[in-house]
Structure 1
Amino acid sequence: GVLSYSKILRPENLALLPVGDDVRLIGDVSSGRLSRLDTSGRRKHHKSVGIVHLKISSFRESKSDDRRFYIFTATKTLHLRTNSKKDRVAWVEALASSRCLFSLRPLNDTLSLVPNDISISTERLNKRLLEEGISEVIVKDCEQIMLSEFLEVQGQFKVLCEERSSLLDTLRQLEAANIEAEASGIHDNEYQLTKHEYLSSGRGKYSECSTTESSDDIEKQELEEVSDEEETSFFDTKEYFSELTACCGSVTEVANHMANPVEPENRIDDMKMIAEKEIIDSRYPQIERRKKLPDPVEKEKGVSLWSMIKDNVGKDLTRVCLPVYFNEPISSLQKCFEDLEYSYLLDRAYEHGKAGNRLLRVLNVAAFAVSGYASSEGRHCKPFNPLLGETYEADYPEKGIHFFSEKVSHHPTLIACHCEGRGWKFWGDSNLRSKFWGRSIQVDPVGVLTLEFDDGEVFQWSKVTTTIYNLILGKVYCDHHGTMHIHGNRQYSCKLRFKEQSILDRNPHQVHGFVEDVTGKKVATLFGKWDDSMYYMNGDGTSKPKDLADASLLWKRSKPPLNLTRYNLTSFAITLNELMSGLQEKLPPTDSRLRPDQRHLENGEFEKANAEKLRLERRQRMSRKLQENGWKPRWFQREGEDGPFRYVGGYWEAREQGNWDGCPNIFGEYNEDLVNSSEGS
């Protein structure tokens, strides 16, 4: 009762089993292929890349396409299409009959696991020794020695048999639990299909387990696109396939090199890179920051997203307050600064450009653009959506940077940031457009990030698409995919492709790209993984596999902290909401560190956090009125009517003087005076 499937790149490579009593061939096209393969003798056997247990699966035929049908499991959906309607009927009947034919039987109990009686006979040996003239006394001594050795072996054998029996008992329990869990998952999935019909609309190319491009009820997809400006500021969620059970048919030489980048030349490059980083860091003071979050005061209670959706069917979603269980204890403003965790790459890029090596400068800029995605691996909670006018500062002397961000618009949600380092400035604003596809959300960042070095060289790029899968059922994970263009105003530009993850890919999160000069000539190749590391090679990337040892490391992800929590924050992210000694007195009343619901969540005070979040979200609904009455951001100004927001300056000077006039207490109780004051400004 198991359906297995393989990844086949070309139809002529299809391997078909000989038709017999236990093999049935469906479709005229398959018959033709089989005859051609028999004639040419070119049969390739492909390794199975996935299986489906038919006993705990359900099937459904498409209503709009008479050749398409679906197989549903608790964690994935297979979209299949036959060559004719007749073939589809045959397939569904074959699957249904196989499911009825095979049952989920427990492990076989008929075998005797521990032998009750094991004995040996020494009669032949005694007779042979006596024939050789050995005395009977010596023969009996030999017999006793043999029996004693055998008894010891027999005891060891019985111990092994008992261990095997215990192991089989454990396997029976696990099998029973697994069957029960998978079966219950299927029931939930069927309820979801019949009640809401998520899978019959709004699926498109974003279905995570599609074997073909879905076109079922395609006219309904646009109706399922939901834009949530209140709660979709960021979606950095849990990352990996839970159902990834097999590998692709082949892996490229570059991917193999990525998996084993331990060549002697690379060790030298790695040590050189670390040495350069230490030289840069030695210019900055060392500041001790916290290594873990505070221990929670209360025990957290889990919340089911599916239960919340069912409980709020028909309600105004803008007035539904999600519990803090779905949040991590940082805000989207702080999340922007998390992209600068590896700011030493920009320090290094500045030094290379200063020394006249423009190529290494753009390579480090490209590595920096990729490194910002590394922290999303394993993160399944969303940051807090900032209030209008909320700010965040990050003064990190040990990195040589100070960063500032502000929420400058509520409808649409816009966050602007500005950061200054040694020899460079970085700024940008971001808006997110989200589409809800039933079991996944696609998030498209809108906005341009700008990096400017002191010598006038500028690089600009936009972020790629992020998709979060298995929102309702299964293991939640996110993927980043698309093409990133890093445009330079001087000699070089860069193009990076984030490969979209699929169920058939055992080497996900890949990034490939190249650097080209002003003439369009490729001068360097980049490859790596956005959650691990990036490498580069000089040239256009057409080198032979044996030359891949010449690849040099650009960036390597930092090790995770020792004290991991369910938030899976990086060591750097753990420091973002820290209130160090003497810092609170210097902060404006709009800083994210002072937000009460976020602080209560970090401390593990979940009841207080939920109460404060509800209060602040009610207050946040007044932000539209504030914005309509002419509210303007305090520290950023838009260039033109539709241009980007740029930092106008003055924040760090006001901080030095402790002068926060004009900064309202946005986390306090709401009153009409705040709206009225904005009308007169």
Structure 2
Amino acid sequence: MAHTCRGTINLSTAHFDMEDSCGIVLTNGARTYHLKASSEVERQQWITALELAKAKAVRMMSSHSDDSGDDEDGTASPADKSELHDTIRNLSLKLDDLSNCNELVAKHGAALQRSLNELDGLRIPFESSEKLKAVNERATLFRITSNAMINACRDFLALAETHSRKWQRALQYEQEQRVHLEETIEQLAKQHNSLERAFRSAPGRASNPTKSFSEGDLLTTKGEDSEEDEDTEYFDAMEDSTSYITVITEAKEDRKTESGTTGSVEWTSDNVLDGASLVPKGPKVKRRVRIPDKPNYSLNLWSIMKNCIGRELSKIPMPVNFNEPLSMLQRLTEDLEYHHLLDKAVHCTNSVEQMCLVAAFSVSSYSTTVHRIAKPFNPMLGETFELDRLDDMGLRSLCEQVSHHPPSAAHYVFSKHGWSLWQEITISSKFRGKYLSIMPLGAIHLEFQASGNHYVWRKSTSTVHNIIVGKLWIDQTGDIEIVNHRTKDRCQLKFLPYSYFSKEMARKVTGVVSDSQGKAHYVLSGSWDEQMECAKIVQSSPSSPSSDGKQKTVYQTLPAKLLWKKYPLPENAENMYYFSELALTLNEHEEGVAPTDSRLRPDQRLMEKGHWDEANTEKQRLEEKQRVNRRRRLEACARGCGAEEEKEAEVYVPLWFERRLDPLTGETACMYKGGYWEAKEKQDWHMCPNIF
């Protein structure tokens, strides 16, 4: 085809293979299609037909290569073609010269051999002079021919080397152009997203009286004919939009009957969902704002990753070149960057409003991952990390690595504002060749002391794409359900997977907050790397069935309010592993921490300073020390307990956490048992193991 469209398969370059008895694998560039026939005979018929079509496509390409479509479709220019033909002609001529020389060498060599044989057979001395003369003539001819052949070979080699260098330069240029094109496309996609967001938040659109969201994709189905207003619906009963934009109780009371809305639409008096006070307040403590720039180390990725396919990544020793200078315990603590959302949620008197803030907090924990393609250090068994920020953040956080295989960390946070959070997260990861899946297992608990509201949710799956070829990028996919176990309110969050051809904005998150009876109160929308908004539902109605027969619920809402917005990254962040302001301070040296704290880990500290070779050596030493300690535990267990108890006793006993049965989830999880902050106050760390 002269002009290809989406989904076109170029048969001349396609590759066919047999997957199983009835399966066909069709590979075309970066895309792979898996086809299945109803029987083996039908599969063979398809393979034969496809191979014949491929042969025909190859013949057509060779016969019609000169008029295959637009000049802009990548065809060579006339100048390039003439140069290519000249090069091929010169190489052919040199090859002919070599062939002629070869024939002459063979001919004269045979004659010289005959002459020498005749010389050996001479018996009469006076004939020797004549024969020797003939030998010399033939030897001279052979030498001349050999020199000619050597010169022709030298010319051929010089010509080949010259054009080889030219072709290498051309190939390098094409590779650089491809990388530049990828970066340009990525930049255009970002600009497209920002333009979409700017368009949606433009003043002309912000004053719309109502917006409608469909459950699932949160888009209306009414305005599909109009591109401009496809996610906006207008209702005749709502002429006066000011009563919905300005959230004033008196004005709203006057308009309640007039607007014809059903159910309660008033907001709580303290307006905790008002986006005006999103910036946290509190004394700012002077902390570091930069770390040494990341050095430029080259590494053969495939030589390491080819042994990782299908294996648990935590069991493979990886060099620090793949890491960032933070441990997994510190990455867990980064989830608290937007703690002010929970401080604000404490003051909510309405549980569904509080749920909106909790949902925004759960999404905000992914905002740091969009550029963070390096893996954190896998903590040593018994490693801890504390964040003592009662003064400026109003909270204290403690993490401990409670298991090594599988890697599992326990986390407890206490806030002086009236909430506490705890979780035990086990990281499960699998390398699948093209991408890496990271599945955090375990429940996150959040409790507000005053109201007794207890929220539980789990993390979504993270996927790292382009592991082998291309630029690494991360996506979050899956559904998250947040449940308030006191009131039975629920929030369903959906992380939409990224698609290049989707009309949705990248990294989109949608959600609906509903009460214990299943009635929807709020619609949430935004992206996990930028911001989240919530819009109060004033009316819901079923839409007309779509073409596929499915019926969606259309929510009529008030204008959306901003719940959370990502902080901008610090200056020069691209050279500092894309760390946020909080991440830059997590590995800052502090006095008085436990000897097992991640800040004191030597290989991590060496890597942060840029000494990667020394860090790799130190990392190997620490891992071997950990293996020796594990063997000692097993030996002690074998001596001190019976065979039946050996497996149970091998389980490591955490220092600051203990395993308990969680009554809400029915799972056994590590919960904080106390004592750490008291030990820090006394500076009594005698119970801490020597892991570094």
TM over 0.5: yes
**What is the CA–CA distance in structure 1 between the aligned matches of 2:558 and 2:197, rounded to whole Å?**
8
Q: Give yes or no for contact 1:3–1:54 (8 Å, CA) kept in 2.
A: no
* Cα distance in 1 for residues equivalent to 2:302 and 2:570: 31
Provide the residue aligned with 2:478 in structure 1. Answer: 482
Map 1:18-29 onto structure 2 (within 5 A).
Answer: none
Matched-pair contact (CA < 8 Å) for 1:410–1:623? no
| Deviation of the 1:551 alpha carbon | 1.4
2:606 partner SS: helix
Is 2:309–2:432's contact at 8 Å kept on the other side of the alignment? no
Partner of 1:276: 277
Tell me the CA shift for residue 90 of structure 1.
4.5
**Kindly, what percent of the aligned residue pairs are identical?**
33
Q: Find the aligned partners of 2:275 and 2:52 in 1 and give their Cα distance.
A: 61
Largest Rg, 1 or 2: 2
Q: Which moved more, 1:77-86 or 1:368-377?
A: 77-86
Contact 2:537 2:558 in 1 (8 A): no
Question: Aligned to 1:597, what secondary structure does the other structure show?
Answer: helix
1:443 pairs with one of 438, 444, 459:
438
Question: Could you report, residue by residue, the CA deviation over 1:189-225 in whole angstroms, capped at 9, with x for unpaired residues?
Answer: xxxxxxxxxxxxxxxxxxxxxxxxxxxxxxxxxxxxx
- Residues 465-486 of structure 1: CA distance to partner in whole angstroms, max 9, x if unpaired? 2222222222222221111110
Q: Secondary structure at the match of 1:644?
A: strand
Relative distance call for 1:360 and 1:512 in structure 2 (3 A) is same
**CA deviation after TM superposition for structure 1 residue 81, in Å:** 3.7
> Partners of 1:268 and 1:598 in 2: how far apart?
51
> Does 1:638 find its partner at 2:656?
no
Q: Which residue of 2 aligns with 1:79?
A: 33
Change (3 A) 1:588 1:61: same
Question: Which residue does the alignment assign to 2:465?
Answer: 469
Provide the residue aligned with 1:161 in structure 2.
none
Partner of 1:187: none
Structure 1 292/244 Cα, relative in aligned 2: closer, same or farther at 3 Å? closer
2:550 corresponds in structure 1 to none
1:98 and 1:399, CA in 2 relative to 1: closer, same or farther beyond 3 A?
A: farther
Which contiguous aligned blocks of 4+ residues in structure 1 show a shift greater than 6 angstroms?
50-55, 172-175, 181-184, 240-247, 266-272, 311-319, 543-549
User: What is the CA–CA distance in structure 2 between the aligned matches of 1:315 and 1:489, rounded to whole Å?
Assistant: 37
Look up the match of 1:235: none
Query: C-alpha distance in 1, partners of 2:173/2:34?
Result: 26
The corresponding residue for 2:449 is: 454
Residue 260 of structure 1 corresponds to 200
**1:571 positional shift:** 2.4
**What's the secondary structure of 1:622's corresponding residue?**
helix
CA distance in 2, matches of 1:489, 1:314: 38
Q: Kindly indicate whether residue 416 of structure 2 is the aligned counterpart of residue 402 of structure 1.
A: no
CA shift for structure 1 position 503: 4.1
TM-score norm. by structure 1 comes to: 0.63
Q: How does 1:276-675 map to 2 (within 5 A)?
A: 276-278=277-279, 281-282=280-281, 284-295=282-293, 299-309=295-305, 321-352=317-348, 356-396=349-389, 397-421=391-415, 422-455=417-450, 456-491=452-487, 492-505=489-502, 507-539=505-537, 550-566=559-575, 567-579=577-589, 583-584=590-591, 586-622=592-628, 624-625=630-631, 628=634, 629=637, 630=649, 631-640=652-661, 643-667=668-692
Query: Alpha carbons of 1:428 and 1:81: their partners in 2 closer, same or farther (altered >3 Å)?
Result: same
Query: What's the secondary structure of 2:510's corresponding residue?
Result: strand
1:497–1:511 Cα contact (<8 Å) kept: yes
One-letter amino acid matched to 1:563 = N
* Secondary structure, aligned partner of 1:285: coil
For residues 16 and 304 of structure 2, the distance between their equivalents in structure 1, rounded to whole angstroms, comes to 27
Cα distance change, pair 106–446 in 1 and its aligned pair in 2 (3 A): same
Give the partner amino acid of 2:446. Answer: L
Equivalences for 1:208-287 in 2 at 5 Å?
A: 260-263=200-203, 264=206, 273=274, 275-278=276-279, 281-282=280-281, 284-287=282-285
The reply on whether 1:70 has 2:26 as its aligned counterpart is yes
In 2, distance between residues paired with 1:289 and 1:501? 36
CA displacement at 1:404 relative to structure 2:
0.7
Name the SS of the counterpart of 1:339 in structure 2: helix
Shift of 1:539: 1.7
CA–CA distance in structure 2, aligned partners of residues 181 and 246 of structure 1: 18
Q: Secondary structure at the match of 1:539?
A: strand
Q: Distance in 2 between matches of 1:317 and 1:370?
A: 26
Distance 2:5 2:429 in 1: 33
Cα 1:242–1:482, aligned 2, differ >3 Å: closer, same or farther? farther
Q: CA deviation at 1:262?
A: 3.4
Aligned CA RMSD, in angstroms, stands at: 4.1
Spell out, residue by residue over 1:618-665, the C-alpha distance to the aligned partner (whole angstroms, 9 max, x if none).
122235436644541110000049611110111111111111111122
Q: Deviations over 1:492-522 (max 9, x none)?
A: 2211111122343363311111011111111
Query: What is the TM-score of this pair, normalised by structure 2?
Result: 0.62
- The AA in structure 1 aligned to 2:584 is I
Deviation per CA, 1:269-307, whole angstroms, max 9, x where unpaired?
A: 9998564234xx33x2211222221246xx542112102
Aligned counterparts, 1:200-211, within 5 A: none
CA pair 183-650 structure 1, distance change in 2 beyond 3 A? closer
| Structure 1 unmatched ranges of 5 or more | 7-49, 112-171, 185-239, 668-681
Retained in 1: the 8 A contact 2:434–2:468?
yes
Letter aligned with residue 560 of structure 1: L
- 1:200 is matched with none
Report the count of equivalent residues.
489
- Secondary structure, aligned partner of 2:689: coil
Distance in 2, matches of 1:292 and 1:286, equals 17
Alpha-carbon distance change, 659 to 67 in structure 1, aligned in 2, over 3 angstroms:
closer
Contact (CA 8 Å) 2:514, 2:521: kept in 1 or not? Answer: yes
Larger RCO: Structure 1 or Structure 2 (Cα < 8 Å, ≥ 6 residues apart)? 1
**3-state SS of paired residue (2:356):** helix
Once the two structures are superposed, residues 376-417 of structure 1 have per-residue CA deviations (whole angstroms, 9 ceiling, x without a partner) of 101111000000000001122322111110001112221000
- Please give the secondary structure, in 1, of the residue aligned with 2:618: helix
Matches of 1:92 and 1:504 in 2, distance apart? Answer: 30
Q: Secondary structure at the match of 1:621?
A: helix
* SS, match of residue 491 in structure 2: strand
Measure, in 1, the Cα distance between the counterparts of 2:632 and 2:339: 36
